[in-house]
Structure 1
Amino acid sequence: MAVVEPKVVCCCLLLLTGAVSQGPRVDYRDPACAVRGSTLTILCSFTPQSVVEDGKRVLAEIVRVVWCQNHQICHLTTPSVYDSELRYARVNDPRYRYLGDKKGNCTLQITGVQRGDNATFRFRMEAKETKNHFTGRGVTVRVSDGAQMEVHSSTDGQFKRGEAVTLNCTTKCTFHQLEVTWLRDGHALKHTGPSLHLAALTAMDSGNYTCRLKNNVGSLSKAFSVLVEAEEEGSVQVSLIVGVVSAVLMLLCFVILVLVIIRQKNQSAVRGEAGPKYNQAEGAQQQVEDVTYAHIQFRASGSQARPVEVEDDSIIYISVVARG
Structure 2
Amino acid sequence: MAVWDKKILWAVMLVLTGALGQRVNYPDPVCGVKGSTVLLPCSFNTLKSINGTEVLIEIIRVVWCQNHEICQGTTPSVYNSSSNFNNSRYRYLGDNKGDCTLQISDLQKEDNATFRFRMEANDGRATFTERSGVRVTVVDGDQMKINSSRDDGEFKRGEAVTLNCSAAICTIHQLEVTWFRDGHALSETGPALHLSYLTAKDSGNYTCGLKKNNRTLSIPYRLHVEGGGLPLIVGLVVGVLLVLFAIILVFCIMKRKRAAGLDQTAVGRDGEQEHSDNIYSNDFLQLAEQQGPSSAVEEVSYASVQFTHKKQARYWRLLNMALFIPSDFGIFNMEPIFPCSGF
TM-score, normalised via structure 2 length: 0.58
- Could you tell me which of 87, 94, 108 is aligned with 2:88? 94
Task: Indicate the residue corresponding to 1:80 in structure 2.
Answer: 77
Aligned residue number for residue 135 of structure 1: 129
Structure 2 residue 160 is matched with structure 1 residue 167 = no
Amino acid across the alignment from 1:73: I
* Structure in which a larger fraction of residues adopt strand: 1
Determine the structure 2 residue equivalent to 1:302: none
Query: What is the deviation of 1:229?
Result: 4.2
Contact 1:21 1:50 in 2 (8 A): no
User: Displacement of 1:230 after TM fit?
Assistant: 4.5
| Change in CA separation of 1:144 and 1:175 when aligned onto 2, cut-off 3 Å | farther
SS in 1 for 2:156: coil
AA paired with 1:265?
R
User: Is the alpha carbon distance of 1:34 and 1:208 closer, same or farther for their aligned partners in structure 2, counting shifts above 3 Å?
Assistant: same
2:254 match: secondary structure: helix
Once the two structures are superposed, what CA deviation does each residue of 1:83-122 show, in whole Å capped at 9, x if it has no partner? 23x2xx3433333222223333211122343343333322
Aligned counterpart, 1:262: 255
1:124: Cα distance to partner?
0.9
Identity of aligned residues (%): 46
The letter for the 2-side match of 1:212 is G
Contact 1:182 1:191 in 2 (8 A): no
> Which one-letter code corresponds to 1:188 in the other structure?
H
Mapped contact 2:156–2:227 kept (Cα < 8 A): no
Letter of the structure 2 residue corresponding to residue 144 of structure 1: V
Instruction: Report if aligned partners of 1:36, 1:115 keep a CA contact under 8 Å in 2.
Output: yes
Relative to structure 1, the CA distance from residue 72 to residue 34 in structure 2 (aligned partners, 3 Å threshold; closer, same or farther) is: same
Q: Is the 8 A contact 1:181 1:213 kept in 2?
A: no
| Partner Cα distance (2:249, 2:100) in 1 | 78
- The residue number in structure 2 matching 1:52 is 50
> Number of matched residues?
255
In the alignment, does 2:113 pair up with 1:116? no
Ranges in structure 2 where 5+ consecutive residues have no aligned partner: 1-14, 277-343
Deviations 1:268-320 (A, max 9, x none): 45655x58756767999xxxxxxxxxxxxxxxxxxxxxxxxxxxxxxxxxxxx
Q: Does 1:125 align with 2:119?
A: yes
- Report what 2:7 is aligned to: none
Q: What are the Cα deviations for residues 225-282 of structure 1, in whole angstroms up to 9, with x where unaligned?
A: 4344458xxxx79x96x9878876765665455444334434545655x587567679
Q: 1:210, 1:223 within 8 Å by CA — same for their partners in 2?
A: yes
For 1:1-324, list aligned pairs within 5 A: 21-22=19-20, 24-49=22-47, 51-52=49-50, 55-56=52-53, 60-84=57-81, 86=82, 89-137=83-131, 138-145=133-140, 147-154=142-149, 159-171=155-167, 172-176=170-174, 178-184=176-182, 187-193=183-189, 194-202=191-199, 205-230=202-227, 254-255=247-248, 257-269=250-262, 277=269
CA RMSD of aligned residues (A): 4.2
Shift of 1:175: 5.0
Look at both structures and tell me which one has the larger radius of gyration over its CA atoms: 1
Matches of 2:178 and 2:238, distance apart in 1:
47
- Distance change (3 Å), C-alpha of 1:107 and 1:168: same
CA contact (8 A) 1:43 1:107 kept: yes
Distance 2:69 2:100 in 1: 17
Residues 23-44 of structure 1 deviation map (CA, whole Å, 9 limit, x = unaligned): 6322211312233343322111
Q: 1:29 corresponds to which letter in structure 2?
A: P
8 Å contact from structure 1 (residues 119, 142) kept in 2: yes
Instruction: Name the structure with the higher helix share.
Output: 2
Q: SS of the residue aligned with 1:33?
A: strand
Change (3 A) 1:245 1:198: closer
The alignment partner of 1:116 has SS state of helix
Determine the C-alpha separation between the residues in 2 that align with 1:204 and 1:140: 44
Partners of 2:178 and 2:185 within 8 A in 1:
no
Query: Would you say the 8 A contact 1:144–1:173 is kept in 2?
Result: no
Which amino acid is the alignment partner of residue 145 of structure 2? E
